[in-house]
Amino acid sequence: MSSAGERLPVVVLISGRGSNLRAIVEKAQAGTLPVEVRAVVSDRPDAAGLEWARSRGLRTASLAPQQFSDRERYDEALAALVASFEPGLVVLAGFMRILGPAFVDRFVGRMLNIHPSLLPRHRGLHTHRRVLEAGERDHGASVHFVTRELDGGPVVLQARVPVRDGDDEASLAARVLEQEHRIYPAAVGWFAAGRLRYAQGAAWLDGQRLDRAVVIEASDDIAA
């Protein structure tokens, strides 16, 4: 927990484009999000987001799984690398590898993820396609604490978007992504301000146990 005026040290993990990373870094560098991005770490040395991070003067590192004999050794090495930056919060932002206990247990309670669905609906991959195939009329994104259960940790904040007639995967993904860029910095800001925490297997906001996530509609303002 950080007190007024301090910036929470954060490490962001990415695998690709890094647009959620960008949403967070831009607010941090503008002084509207009280975090210091200590490093951006990727499992893919060619992740486009790493190049962007370097252009913003951020420290970057990558660790490719191919260099390790098994998943557990990789997770241990990744955990050691991330821990070396002494983060108060680990932010998974499009990190597309499943993290095992060797990693998760080390950061539980101080690790968030963003997932492109209204959890608990549609854990895993291809969420936009699955929403369209199921004929659902709403969709969205969720920020949640990471636990051992894949996409199953306590959900903190969700944005709901409508599914429109004529939507395809790309149009729906774009509408959801726009909301990801709003809710992820907001939830990270809550954590950095000491308003959001993880205890007893649950998320707590302003001292209240969140039995259900805070849900915003695409048109709502988010209370800072």
Q: What are the residue numbers of the active site?
A: 115
Closest approach of ligand GAR to the CB of residue 210, in Å: 20
Closest approach of ligand GAR to the CB of residue 207, in Å: 28
Question: Which single residue brings its beta carbon nearest to ligand GAR?
Answer: 94
Pick 95 or 191: Cβ nearer ligand GAR: 95
Strands 111-115 and 138-145, by their bridges, are antiparallel
Closest approach of ligand GAR to the CB of residue 135, in Å: 21
Amino acid occupying residue 132: L
| Residue 65 preceded by cis peptide, ω within 30 | no
DSSP annotation string for the chain: ---TT--EEEEEEESS--HHHHHHHHHHHHTSS-EEEEEEEES-TT-HHHHHHHHTT--EEE--GGGSSSHHHHHHHHHHHHHTT--SEEEESS--SPP-HHHHHHHTTSEEEEESS-TTSS-SS-HHHHHHHTT-SEEEEEEEE--SSTT-SPEEEEEEEEPPTT--HHHHHHHHHHHHHHHHHHHHHHHHTT-EEEETTEEEETTEE-SS-EEEETTPPPP-
Pick 27 or 86: Cβ nearer ligand GAR: 27
Which residues make up the interface to ligand GAR (CB under 6 A)?
A: 14, 16-20, 49, 93-94, 114-116, 141, 177, 180
Amino acid occupying residue 216: I
The Cα 110–Cα 120 span in angstroms is 21
Pick 42 or 106: Cβ nearer ligand GAR: 42
Closest approach of ligand GAR to the CB of residue 48, in Å: 8
Pick 87 or 94: Cβ nearer ligand GAR: 94
Closest approach of ligand GAR to the CB of residue 73, in Å: 23
Pick 14 or 163: Cβ nearer ligand GAR: 14
